[in-house]
Structure 1
Amino acid sequence: MTATFENNRRPSLLLDAEDEPTGARKFRSPSGTVGHSLDNTDMVALTTSFDKQISEGHPMFFEQSETFAGVRSLGAPGVSHQWTNFYSEGKAGFEFMQNLRVKYIQESAQDAQSNMKNDTIDWFLYPKPLPKFWKFESDKRLYDGAQSANGEDMQGYFYTRTNDDNFQKQDRVQLHYTGQFFKLSHYAKELTKFYTERGLPMAMATDYPAVVANVPPITQFGQHFEKCLDLVTSEQMDSQAVKRTEYLLHRYELFQQLQGRSEVRESRLVPHRDFYNIRKVDQNYLLSGCLSQRQLNDFIWEKLNLEPNRIVYLDANGKQFTLRQIFCQGSDDSSIGLKAVDDLFLDWYRTVYLSGDHLTRTDIWQQNPKYLAIARTFLEFDNVIDGEYFAEMVVKYVIQSFEKSKYQVAQLSVDFQFGDSWWTKFSDWVTRWKLVSYNIRWNIRLNRCFSKLYAANRVQNFQDYLDHIFRPLLELEGSQNVKLQFVLSTVCCFDLVVSETDDYVWKSFLEPQRTSPADWSGCGDNPPVAYYMFYIYQYLKVLNEKRKSRGRNTIALRNYCPINASRVSQFRKKLSITEQFESLICNFLLCEGGLLQAEPLWRVSPTILYLYYLFQIPVVVSPLSSVSLLLEHGHSEAGRVPIKDRDVTTPSTRTYTGNPFMSMHQMGLKVLLSSSSVLLNCSYTMEPIIEEYSVAASIYLLTSADMCELVRDSVLTSGYEGFYKAHWNGVRLNKTDFFNERIGLTDTWYDQELDTCYKHNVPNARRLYRRNCLEREWQFISG
């Protein structure tokens, strides 16, 4: 069947069809005769109330004028009193949790309005943005001036061992990227000038002992925690949340059936903009695994060829090792083998080194000296060579790759090491090796390793744990450290890592509600997740207040949802909930940056899942990552298997499609895809972020609208500056008369102009659908 189309692009988000602007800003539809199947593009839209109800996802007996219309729309006859009870109790509960979340987020200055970097006028953006149409291959600064091909240049081209006496380090191939032009002295000069003109202090002393003394006890937060727990564990709330979740999933299917082809057609009308040339932000790109196994092997072989006799490692006894001595088991070079880094090393690196066991195990030096040497030499920045190899790999395989692609950006997450002067060492490493780029920002990961640090005699109580993190940031010396201040200006989030490797068994059974950080020592018991979250939140609150008063950026808080569903929370007595539940409530109350490792959210609690949807809290998932949770059971009744019928002897059949991220996306959550740890993912391409999206698109047959919506959300909820969000997505915080979106219930982003789809290519139909669904759910809650 064929049809001749007129220029009938879908009306904008604000205007009706008759008011739709025409002219240069209106994209032209393809002309001519196009073949189509019998679907929505061939149908004439009817204007009856029945057709309107169906297109909006309403049941046909729904009447807008009825009392409690949103409640009765999904109810069965004869049970209206139950819906009335749900309405009266649910409305008060949701309002309480809404006010509580806004209170905690705004008091800690985590909201977007409190963050100075979202001010496109008064924020000191350094380095200055690149030209609009900049491309890596067109920037003449990034190429060597003279590239001759004479015989001398080709001498030793195929050599396997550097033995030329004339070889010099400067003869190596230089890595070119925009950060190579970064100069700390120029940054310090421009920063001083900027703050002097505005009358802001460059440094400010903070009485750290007074900060410690003024931290409130955890008692009130515990009461808020328990109140929220009572609300979200209500059986009636859970029952209705399941129905609302299923309703949203079915409504999305109906929307795709009715308007799916229109979305595709609308996307094609936007010229020169598709998934590949839209910015996509990986918000949890782990620095400890930012390169693949092949890249790490290639780099090691390159260094073994160039400088095999360089001293790169000191063991626990102070013995020096050259690069060749680390890998060669004998005198013959062939003993290195084809793979310097094998799967056994990766398994040890994940289970022993990254988990922190090397802090307390004294036998690790004797059992795996080679593995420890590799990790310390190539995957750490605090070592004999000042992190030179690690920095070179980050530039070569991460920064340079991102800049060449232009449209891939990431927030690199670095693990905080509880050693002496970690902040100073990290900022020195970043500025010395110029790990500066328009395409990267930083997150700081805080592990729940108090018990391991206590066993290693690095801390005496939990207050020491907090002092390691926040004392250098709050004292005057840190305020005067230009390197540290530059790094902090690029830090987006503090992430609390909740892992199955965290110590769990207690010996002294302290009462978290009555024990201050200075008194939390006992036998080195690991505090509960909520205990970590509350005190990190309190010190981050002080830090953000200080930075906000000086015109600096503030930092958001995030945490992981643990995979292990069998651990019972130890935060409050007589509460039979898991650590997963505890982590989700803490994230809901205290974190503006979103939820990491969010796959368990789909099964822990229907009510919490529904709350995350209503409040549009960002959730980060990693379907391809080996550390992500692949779920086999969902919230839908059809997908649930009664516990009594489950065969525990049957091995788990986990697959990619078992990951719930697609259901989250269809429901309307702000889902963000992340590559997480590329080193542990067995990534097969040079672009892991693109690989993450392409696998999802291939398996779920995602449309252009789906892909563009995912990447747009990754920018909108990221920690990037307001200038870049305006440039990439066309949004800002200043109120306009155009379309707006609320993120986390605390941040409202407004479109800068009437139609911004030429920046992100998310069809207006999709954005209208998401807004209408969310508004309808809030109408359901509020009556």
Structure 2
Amino acid sequence: MSVTNMPRQFPKITLSEVDEETRLLAEKVYASALKEEDTKDALSMFTVPEDCPIGLHQAKERELLKELAEQHSEESAKRKKSFKMIRSQSASLQGLQIPVTAEWARSVVTPFLSPSSTCSSLPENCPEYQRVTISGDYCAGITVEDYEQAAKTLMKALFIREKYSRLAYHRFPRTVAQFLRSAENQTWKEEDEVLPDVCPCPREGEDPYSIENIPDNLSYELQTKDGIVYVYENAEALSQNRPRSLPYPDLETFAIDLSHVLAMIVDGPTKTYCHRRLNFLGSKFYLHEMLNEMAELKELKGVPHRDFYNVRKVDTHIHAAACMSQKHLLNFIQTTYKTEADRVVLEKGGRKLTLREVFEHLNMDPYDLTVDSLDVHAGRQTFHRFDKFNSKYNPVGASELREIYLKTDNLIDGEYFARIIKEVSHDLEESKYQHAEPRLSIYGRSADEWDSLSKWFIQHKVHSTNMQWIIQVPRIYDIFKSKKLITNFAKMLENIFLPLFEATVNPQKHKELHVFLKYVTGFDSVDDESKHSDHMFSYKSPKPEQWTADENPPYSYYLFHMYANIMVLNNLRKERGLSTFQFRPHCGEAGSITHLVSAFLTADNISHGLNLKKSPVLQYLYYLAQVPIAMSPLSNNSLFLEYSKNPLREFLHKGLCVSLSTDDPMQFHYTKEALMEEYAIAAQLWKLSTCDVCEIARNSVLQSGLSHQEKKHFIGANYLKDGPEGNDIRRTNVAQIRMAYRHETLCNELSFLVDAVKTEAAIGLINTY
């Protein structure tokens, strides 16, 4: 069925439709991942070099034997001829080629470019530059069969991601969608594009906390079933089990789709193909930089009133409880003690304590505190010790101070925490060009957490034009279960999501929550990824109501159920004309590679992504689908991976959509402007050019939760278009040459895949000649 008339229903797959070999291979990958978690760290400090002589020699021998056999195969010769014809006859075989909307882009789909075709149809705002083109064989170095198999499996993965992205109103790149429609012999239309709905920033003079003009209540009924909230038209529909027509996800279908991608990441031909293409992308950028660096710099020098300092940058991954520097927190503690020492701030053991009494109980004087004695900074002792890192959230090692200063729900209604955040937001507003997306926690231990958080937000007027809010859900079901706060995993999911459905259906009954949700742009899933889970996620996994064990569910289980509820909620809110939410989990920082497979299906974008370095197939898929990745090299340096080994520069050069973020300035940074500190260290250590850092900054705006209107203002009115046409150099300071290179390279990579799925049609054309 075409995307144009795709219904808003979740297309289900039965187990009988999945290849048994694929299912068994996927289970083997999961079992292998579980075994690895038991036996080694997430990222070993002792990695085996890629150029291991024996393995490399044997691999080359196998490839040579396959190529020799292929040369004597008549069928292979016919396939090779068909691939070659597709790529060389693009001008005459428009029916087989990618229907790229921009005239200039049609010539870059094929590497067989004529000298005149590349420059005659370029857009006016894109200067000519030196291109790297490869002519000759269709894909030298691998056999036709391997190429065809790899391309078809990669295309299948892209179709799967597109399905999950569209259903949840997550973003999916235009260029990739155009190629996928071409593979189906269809035409992409702009009206088919699905985008998240984000509330625009309040106009000047408008009250951001106004409870006027709130939509009316509806008579809908809600019920949680299998961990997912179902919506019913009325009580009668509920009694007859007739839910509204919304895309309710199916665990079995998700497990099957997941198994397809899991089987793909260990498929030999696909791994070889992706490894070679990634190496090629890195080498191609090196040549591009060598040939065009000065031309890009010349472009940037010609842009008036725009440089790295005054382009918009978004801190796409930062936790509210650590959004301030250690010095800022120290100053705030000393200031409050100086002015409010006799204020009652804590209740402990049935007794209310003033700030003075709290410090007396801790045997310390705030005036004697230093950043060293505050002890909130992560260092060498936290490397591969997430438990020690978590303790750094307690100033001076005292949970009492965390309760007073870094919590929203305490005896003083989170006033100190709100004041610190407002001071941070004021600094951002003063800088004008820096934005942040802080995470606030919802735990799922009780249903009234949302009302408490929204009341804190409105009571203390925390809204800022330079902050967009994200809700993080820690994966700590096992802790709540051990304390008997909840009976099963379904109750935790209900506490997290049911209040959101109620506020969407009956906003008049939940006015504060309705207002707060206008400024929430997404959800995050957080915790230590290296935690081991004995359970292997599959279609046989118990339903959330049946998950009554003390053991924590695996990562993929969490992600599916969070995605499922967000997807249904987004469709309901879209019906009501309300804002939608993105799913932006922590993923790939440590733990199993299977985490990145789950996120590839369910996430709009991810934070960290370090483990992509381990899997060429996943890394190449994240490149092809342009999945945004918020990376935090300073944070990783203290926890999981030394700075020099961080793959950010490698990802950037290859063309993955990466941005820089701070994660926890209180733990990892020293200066007042933590995001600028992150950019400065990266630029110095990796010798990034001005164009490089401005490209990262532009990526951060694209992947952020800023509204459509704000993005148009910050990076250009046509930002949704790909290539130079979508880049306003006067706002982004990213060279048009760089944008043209990125777009042309992506089109070439995608065209290789589309060619493979059209082999049979091309063979038919050859036979008619």
**Above 0.5 in TM-score?**
yes
Residue type at the aligned position of 1:608: L
Residue matched to 2:369: 338
SS of aligned partner of 1:273: coil
Residue matched to 1:713: 699
Gaps of 5+ in 1: 1-11, 28-44, 46-51, 64-68, 76-81, 119-123, 131-177, 196-200, 359-363, 566-578, 632-653, 742-749
Residue type at the aligned position of 1:337: D
Following TM superposition, by how much is the alpha carbon of 1:111 offset from its aligned partner in structure 2, in angstroms?
A: 3.6
CA distance in 1, matches of 2:334, 2:371: 8
The 5 A counterparts of 1:56-71 are 56-59=131-134, 62-63=135-136, 69-71=137-139
The 5 A counterparts of 1:300-379 are 300-315=333-348, 317-329=349-361, 334=365, 337-339=368-370, 342=373, 344=375, 371-379=398-406
Q: Residues 721 and 628 (structure 1 numbering): CA distance in 2 closer, same or farther, change over 3 Å?
A: farther
Residue matched to 1:96: 156
Q: Residues 262 and 732 (structure 1 numbering): CA distance in 2 closer, same or farther, change over 3 Å?
A: closer
Q: Residues 617 and 626 (structure 1 numbering): CA distance in 2 closer, same or farther, change over 3 Å?
A: closer
The 5 A counterparts of 1:264-663 are 264-315=297-348, 317-329=349-361, 334=365, 337-339=368-370, 342=373, 344=375, 371-396=398-423, 398-420=424-446, 421-475=448-502, 479-480=507-508, 481-500=510-529, 502=531, 504=533, 513-522=540-549, 524-565=550-591, 579=592, 581-592=593-604, 594-603=605-614, 605-625=615-635, 631=641, 654=642, 656-663=643-650
Residue type at the aligned position of 2:612: L
Following TM superposition, by how much is the alpha carbon of 1:256 offset from its aligned partner in structure 2, in angstroms?
A: 0.9
Residue type at the aligned position of 1:759: R
| 440-449 vs 694-703, greater mean Cα deviation | 694-703
Would the aligned equivalents of 2:312 and 2:697 in 1 still touch at CA under 8 Å? yes
The 5 A counterparts of 1:79-90 are 82-90=142-150
Residue type at the aligned position of 1:519: Q
Following TM superposition, by how much is the alpha carbon of 1:263 offset from its aligned partner in structure 2, in angstroms?
A: 0.5
Question: What's the TM-score, normalizing by structure 1?
Answer: 0.70
Would the aligned equivalents of 2:164 and 2:601 in 1 still touch at CA under 8 Å? yes
Question: What's the TM-score, normalizing by structure 2?
Answer: 0.72
Following TM superposition, by how much is the alpha carbon of 1:95 offset from its aligned partner in structure 2, in angstroms?
A: 2.2
SS of aligned partner of 1:602: helix
Residue type at the aligned position of 2:411: V
CA distance in 2, matches of 1:243, 1:330: 59
Would the aligned equivalents of 2:326 and 2:666 in 1 still touch at CA under 8 Å? yes
Q: Residues 781 and 402 (structure 1 numbering): CA distance in 2 closer, same or farther, change over 3 Å?
A: same
Would the aligned equivalents of 2:407 and 2:414 in 1 still touch at CA under 8 Å? yes
Residue matched to 2:657: 670
Q: Residues 273 and 617 (structure 1 numbering): CA distance in 2 closer, same or farther, change over 3 Å?
A: same
Residue type at the aligned position of 1:375: R
Would the aligned equivalents of 1:463 and 1:518 in 2 still touch at CA under 8 Å? yes
Would the aligned equivalents of 2:386 and 2:528 in 1 still touch at CA under 8 Å? no
Following TM superposition, by how much is the alpha carbon of 1:432 offset from its aligned partner in structure 2, in angstroms?
A: 0.8
SS of aligned partner of 1:110: coil
Residue type at the aligned position of 2:290: Q
The 5 A counterparts of 1:7-18 are none
Q: Residues 222 and 625 (structure 1 numbering): CA distance in 2 closer, same or farther, change over 3 Å?
A: same
Residue type at the aligned position of 1:441: Q
Following TM superposition, by how much is the alpha carbon of 1:126 offset from its aligned partner in structure 2, in angstroms?
A: 4.6
Residue type at the aligned position of 1:673: L
Q: Residues 584 and 209 (structure 1 numbering): CA distance in 2 closer, same or farther, change over 3 Å?
A: closer
CA distance in 2, matches of 1:551, 1:18: 44
Following TM superposition, by how much is the alpha carbon of 1:498 offset from its aligned partner in structure 2, in angstroms?
A: 4.4
SS of aligned partner of 2:464: coil
Which of the numbers 695, 706, 731 marks the counterpart of 1:759? Answer: 731
Q: Residues 712 and 610 (structure 1 numbering): CA distance in 2 closer, same or farther, change over 3 Å?
A: same
Following TM superposition, by how much is the alpha carbon of 1:220 offset from its aligned partner in structure 2, in angstroms?
A: 2.0
Residue matched to 2:684: 698
Residue type at the aligned position of 1:402: L
Would the aligned equivalents of 2:413 and 2:456 in 1 still touch at CA under 8 Å? yes
Residue by residue over 1:251-292, the C-alpha shift from the partner in whole angstroms, topping out at 9 and shown as x without a partner, is 111111111011101100000011111111111111111011
The 5 A counterparts of 1:129-208 are 182=207, 184=209, 187-189=210-212, 191-192=213-214, 201=216, 205-208=220-223
Residue type at the aligned position of 2:619: L
Residue type at the aligned position of 2:722: N
Residue matched to 1:168: none
Following TM superposition, by how much is the alpha carbon of 1:779 offset from its aligned partner in structure 2, in angstroms?
A: 2.1
Residue by residue over 1:651-678, the C-alpha shift from the partner in whole angstroms, topping out at 9 and shown as x without a partner, is xxx3x22211011101100011001101
SS of aligned partner of 2:521: strand
CA distance in 2, matches of 1:471, 1:20: 52
Residue by residue over 1:498-534, the C-alpha shift from the partner in whole angstroms, topping out at 9 and shown as x without a partner, is 414746357xx99762411100113x11111111111
Residue by residue over 1:154-205, the C-alpha shift from the partner in whole angstroms, topping out at 9 and shown as x without a partner, is xxxxxxxxxxxxxxxxxxxxxxxx9xx8463xx222x34xx6xxxxx56563
SS of aligned partner of 1:475: helix
Residue type at the aligned position of 2:671: T
CA-based RMSD: 3.3
Would the aligned equivalents of 1:445 and 1:495 in 2 still touch at CA under 8 Å? yes
Gaps of 5+ in 2: 1-102, 106-116, 173-192, 231-242, 756-769
Would the aligned equivalents of 1:114 and 1:548 in 2 still touch at CA under 8 Å? no
Residue matched to 1:117: 197
Would the aligned equivalents of 1:630 and 1:660 in 2 still touch at CA under 8 Å? no
Q: Residues 341 and 325 (structure 1 numbering): CA distance in 2 closer, same or farther, change over 3 Å?
A: farther
Residue type at the aligned position of 1:479: P
Q: Residues 286 and 209 (structure 1 numbering): CA distance in 2 closer, same or farther, change over 3 Å?
A: closer
Which of the numbers 669, 677, 680 marks the counterpart of 2:667? Answer: 680
CA distance in 2, matches of 1:520, 1:454: 11
Q: Identity of aligned pairs, percent?
A: 27
Residue matched to 1:775: 747
Following TM superposition, by how much is the alpha carbon of 1:115 offset from its aligned partner in structure 2, in angstroms?
A: 4.6
Would the aligned equivalents of 2:651 and 2:658 in 1 still touch at CA under 8 Å? yes
SS of aligned partner of 2:438: strand
SS of aligned partner of 2:670: coil
CA distance in 1, matches of 2:665, 2:754: 44
CA distance in 1, matches of 2:150, 2:657: 23
Would the aligned equivalents of 2:271 and 2:617 in 1 still touch at CA under 8 Å? yes
Residue by residue over 1:447-488, the C-alpha shift from the partner in whole angstroms, topping out at 9 and shown as x without a partner, is 111111100111111101101101111125863322212221
Residue matched to 2:714: 728
